[in-house]
Amino acid sequence: MSGHHKWEDIKRRSSTVLMCAGCQRSPRVTHGEYVEGSGYRSADAYVWSEEGTLDRASGWYLCDACYIRYGMPVLDGERWTATPANLYALGIVV
């Protein structure tokens, strides 16, 4: 799990705040249960390394519940990420 070190380095140099765009909850709330025993120092580090919907430029992602609530969005042959344009297409204005 080398990704957790990357998050710690990025967080020191960046003002990126990770947040679920659907429910406006933090990784501590949406992914806190996954951290224990995972080797990651924080829920933010876990989301940075493991969350497939994370748009690293904006910090937006969809937690599991919101991803399901919004119909499990996909792009034609590409991984769906929570970019502002993709969120807008779902009716989520950030």
Tens digit of pLDDT for each residue in 23-78? 999 999 999 998 988 899 999 999 999 999 999 999 999 999 999 999 999 988 88
Q: How confident is the model at residue 14 (pLDDT cuts 50, 70, 90)?
A: low
What's the pTM?
0.82
Using CA atoms, how far residue 21 sits from 3, 70, 73, in Å, is 22, 11, 14
Does residue 21 have a pLDDT over 60?
yes
Taking residues 5-18, report their average pLDDT: 62
Taking residues 3-29, report their average pLDDT: 75
Which DSSP letter does residue 76 get? T
Angstrom distance (rounded) from CA 18 to CA 83 = 13
Angstrom distance (rounded) from CA 60 to CA 87 = 9
